[in-house]
Amino acid sequence: MGCDGGTIPRRDELVRIKKKKEAKDKEAEMAAKWKYCAISSKDLQPPIVSCELGRLYNKDAVIEYLLNKEAPNSSLLSHIRNLKDLVTLRLTPKPKDDQNKSTESNGANEYKYVCPIVGLEMNGNYKFMYFRQCGCVVSERAIKEVKSQVCLSCNKPFIEDDLIVLNGDDDEIEDLKNRMTIRRNKVKEEKKRKRTINNEDSTNGKAKMAKSDEHSVAGTSTDTTTTTVVKTSSLSVLSEKASKKYSVKKDPNATEAYKSLFTSHDSAKNRPKAHWVTFNPCYN
């Protein structure tokens, strides 16, 4: 029976102790984020890229995923549509002397990159960010200590929205998702606006071309009519000249100076000397 005076129970038999949750190996978790590709789980090797949510990838692994659309955690990669959604990171390698010391002390847990401004190791103990415009990676401490409107590494201008936290916590990732959605919506609206403007310009251009064609057709018909009238009048004159009934004296289109050259003109009659062409004795 127990507890009847014949036995002495132990404390762990009388008190139920709540089992503790198995603590995650923080070192292994940080190494998985900061040393290995988020797609292939292989060691991070240059060129290293990052998405708009701040995860780290090997570029060749991303290309393979985009071609095959197959990955163990493909549900977490739906926001990567093409290589334009990625930024190639410009990381600062740790000096070789420091790498040797780190290898001796930590063994396999060696981290290869540091902040170029304050020298902090990029191992998950400190928050790191990158600039979307240039891809330079610096620590949050450097950004807070050296307040500037240009990149601390390459001096390229940036805005606050360009700063992407690497391997952030849940709240930071949620904020990055919201910012990503806003950016992409803005890009869509801008493309739609440009497409509308181009369509309007194209329509106006076609209308102008149609009007110019109408004017050219009208002008051509007018010119054709005028040419036809001129040709008709010229042909009529030629036909009349060809006939025997034609007379320069009666020609309404001939000038008086031209008519005076012929003997049929009144001025040619009763001259004191002969005509300049013939010796026609039409004088007194």
**Digit-coded pLDDT (tens) for 195-233:** 888 888 877 777 777 776 666 655 555 555 555 554 555
Within a domain: 278: yes
Q: Do 55 and 184 belong together in one domain?
A: no
The answer to whether residue 199 sits within a structural domain is yes
Separation between Cα atoms, residue 159 and residue 172, nearest integer Å: 18
Whether residues 107 and 39 fall in one domain: yes
198 lies in the same domain as 90: no
Domain-located, residue 193? yes
Asked whether residue 12 is domain-assigned, the answer is no
What end-to-end distance do the CA atoms of the chain give, in Å?
180
The Cα 167–Cα 53 span in angstroms is: 8
Please state, in angstroms and rounded to a whole number, the distance separating the CA atoms of residues 123 and 114: 9
Residue in 179, 172, 70 with CA at minimum distance from that of residue 129: 172
Structural domain total, the chain: 3
Distance of CA 175 to the CA centre of its chain: 26
Whole-number pLDDT of residue 180: 94
Is there a single domain that holds both residue 29 and residue 158? yes
**116 shares a domain with 46:** yes
Across the chain, which has 284 residues, the per-10-residue mean pLDDT values are: 63 66 70 91 93 95 89 82 94 78 56 92 93 94 90 90 93 94 93 88 75 61 54 55 62 75 69 57 50
Residues 150 and 57 in one domain: yes
Rounded Cα distance, 259 and 22, in Å:
128
Whether 181 and 124 share a structural domain:
no
Q: What pLDDT is attached to residue 136?
A: 95
Q: Give 130's contacts (C-beta < 8 A, 6+ positions apart).
A: 50, 54, 87, 89, 136, 137, 138, 163, 164, 166
What does the pLDDT read at residue 284? 46
State whether 195 and 283 are in the same domain: no
Within 13 A of 169's CA, how many CA atoms are on the CB side? 4
**156 and 76 in a common domain:** yes
Q: What is the CATH number of the domain that holds 153?
A: 3.30.40.10
**Containing domain of residue 265, as a range?**
251-284
Which pair of tokens denotes residue 207? Answer: 């209308």
Per-residue confidence (pLDDT) for residue 151, from 0 to 100: 92
